[in-house]
Amino acid sequence: MEQDLFRGELVRLVAEDTDSMVKAFSHWSRNSEFTRLAGSQPAIPHSARATRKWIEENAEPIKVDNYAFSIRTLADDRLLGDIGLDGVHWSHRESFVGIGIGDSEAWGKGYGTDAMRIILRYAFEELNLRRVSLNVFEYNPRAIRSYEKAGFKHEGRMRGYLNREGRRWDVIFMGILQEEWRNHDDHIAT
Amino acid sequence: MDFQHSLYEAERICLAPIDHEKDPEIVSRWTHDAEYLRMLEMEAARPLSPAQVKKKLESIEKEMDEHKNQFHFTVRMRSDDRLIGFAQVSWIEWTHGSGWIKMGIGAKEDRRCGYGTEVLGLLLRFAFDELNLYRLSALVPEYNEGALRLLKKANFTEEVRRRQALQRFGRCWDLLNLGLLRDEWRSK
Amino acid sequence: MIGTNIFQDQKVRLCADDPETLAQAFSRWERNDELWLMLDSDPVVMWSAKKIKEWNEKGEIENPPKEAFFTIHALPEDKLIGFVSLNSILWNQGDCWVAIGLGERDYWGKGYGTEAMNLTLQYAFSELNLRRVTLGVFEYNQRAVHSYEKAGFRLEGRMRGMLQRQGRRYDLLFMGILQDEWKQLQSQAPA
């Protein structure tokens, strides 16, 4: 009846064991390029202990409005990062998606795009959402291109929202609707 | 009185308690198989880490102890005690003598081996002969043909069809309640 | 209509009451065992207002809510007469259960329940955007069965002998209404 819901062509989505998440995430937090691409909070490295505390409080409890997964390669089972639908607005059937590939060796190789394909299928065919939103920083063209490839459309920008390295940058908003996803060439249906 | 015939043992499989040290990792693997989850659960399929499974198994035993209206078993191979699934009778309403059954064989390789029939046999005997329930119910999505076949073979009948209650695999499906009365089970 | 107050109609309005008020009312209503027998399969028990209040207070506001619970107030007197709730909301499937009870006997059979149910269905289908609503009703509660049929619910089956009360076995009936069916009823109804 179906291909594996949690698998793509290059990666698969998993519920990661806490110890390996702690190791990986606190390591990646030491790369400021990664943290500045991923978040608007001031970049700061995190200790393993702080990371563990955060994971135990936020990632471990099973929540109905949050579906987060770790990303592992199919070829060699390497942990690359995480992806998730955070803050599902159920009555509107909408959610934001966020992805972070912490392993910088893995950038630009299609892993992120593949993970995004899997999560969109999950959003539209298992959660039965009607739209998925995201925001991305103006200075992250690699991600913007990847999202465009996955079918996201530009919907606007918050001008000068970010202040980094002495200048202002926009935060770009993108979105994809269920019908658009169904018609999109690149999608993998069940 | 058939006390010699163990309530817990069938030909190849047996019902057993939870092993909180070893089981979480195996169950975690099962939850990464979306097909397994989608056959069993109405909630959105989502994989669980061993830590999350551990918490879940602990809360199952806690509930069993506190509410006294459910019985959860692991299903293991008699030959080597290998964990292959679970079986439970729950939502028991003692004054009415009704309960719900649920079971699953976790790994794809272990399905279609006839274990399901053995598990169901033990579960029904436990529910009717030990818990003295009057009737049992099972909740099955229309697309779960394997479960429907298994239950109908055991004399369950379709009692309720909740139209289009499920949305999966790109379309809507009905959700079925199947029921079996103790007399119907005995007469088999 | 975005501008209308979806919590109010001619005879009733849906509200939220304090745990204290609610507990007092429930404790009083429970002393009428007929109400309990219609509503609940659990053995009849009369809980104190204090105990009920404890339970009400334990229920936090979750996000997203697993339940939308309302009290029913009769108009124009604004009297608390019952409750209605959408619960066990299965968001990914767009399905939920509805439960309704009018505690004040004097208000039975006068259309208050029907109106409250209509407001609740409107809430389910137009605000929560659910696809269907399910309910269970006891075979011997014929007044309720007719009321639900009037509201648009269709019989979807019966679980045989689910209840044993006062020496007899009774079936539990299942009824359901789909968003499309409800929308059609709305378009057919006189304004």
- Kindly state whether residue A189 falls inside one of the protein's structural domains: no
Of A65, A126, A128, the CB nearest to C64: A65
- Interchain contact B183–C (C-beta under 8 A): no
- For B11-21, the pLDDT digits (tens) are 999 999 999 99
Does C63 sit within 8 Å of A91, measured CB to CB?
A: no
Backbone angles phi, psi at A81, to 5 degrees: 170, -155
Which is the CATH superfamily of the domain at B13-186? Gcn5-related N-acetyltransferase (GNAT) (3.40.630.30)
Residues in C closer than 8 angstroms to B44, CB to CB, are 92
Q: Where are the domains of chain C?
A: 12-188
Domain hosting residue A167, numbered range:
11-183
Neighbours of chain A (3+ CB pairs under 8 A): B, C
- For B114-143, the pLDDT digits (tens) are 999 999 999 999 999 999 999 999 999 999
What is the token pair recorded at A163? 């202040």
What is the token pair recorded at B125? 């005997």
Strand order in the sheet with A11-14: A11-14, A66-73, A79-89, A94-101, A131-137, A167-177, A153-164
CATH code where residue A50 lies:
3.40.630.30
pLDDT of residue A1: 47
Does C92 sit within 8 Å of A127, measured CB to CB?
A: yes
What per-residue string of b and e applies to B141-159 under the rule 16 or more CB within 10 Å gives b?
bbbbeebbebbeebbbeeb
- The total number of structural domains in chain A stands at 1
- What number of residues does chain B have? 188
- Kindly state whether residue A49 falls inside one of the protein's structural domains: yes
C34: confidence class by pLDDT, cuts 50, 70, 90: confident
Q: Please, which residues have CB within 8 angstroms of residue C159's CB and are 6 or more apart in sequence?
A: B98, B135, B137, B159, B160, B177, B179, C171, C172, C174
Residue the block writes with tokens 């109010």: C8
What per-residue string of b and e applies to B7-23 under the rule 16 or more CB within 10 Å gives b?
eeebeebbbeebeeeeb
Question: How many angstroms separate the CA of residue B165 from the nearest CA in chain C?
Answer: 6
- For A131-169, the pLDDT digits (tens) are 999 999 999 999 999 999 999 999 999 999 988 888 999
Which is the CATH superfamily of the domain at C12-188? Gcn5-related N-acetyltransferase (GNAT) (3.40.630.30)
C191: confidence class by pLDDT, cuts 50, 70, 90: low
- Kindly state whether residue A25 falls inside one of the protein's structural domains: yes
Burial of A89 (0-12, 13-18, 19+ CB in 10 A): middle
CA distance B115 to B74: 13
- Which residue, among B94, B73, B98, B100, has the nearest Cα to B13 in the 3D structure? B73
- Kindly state whether residue A5 falls inside one of the protein's structural domains: no
The dihedral sign for the CA sequence C118, C124, C126, C127:
positive
Average pLDDT of A70-90?
94
Question: How many angstroms separate the CA of residue C126 from the nearest CA in chain B?
Answer: 18
Average pLDDT of B173-188?
95
C111: confidence class by pLDDT, cuts 50, 70, 90: very high
- For B63-99, the pLDDT digits (tens) are 999 999 999 999 999 999 999 999 999 999 999 999 9
State the pTM of this model: 0.90
ipTM: 0.89
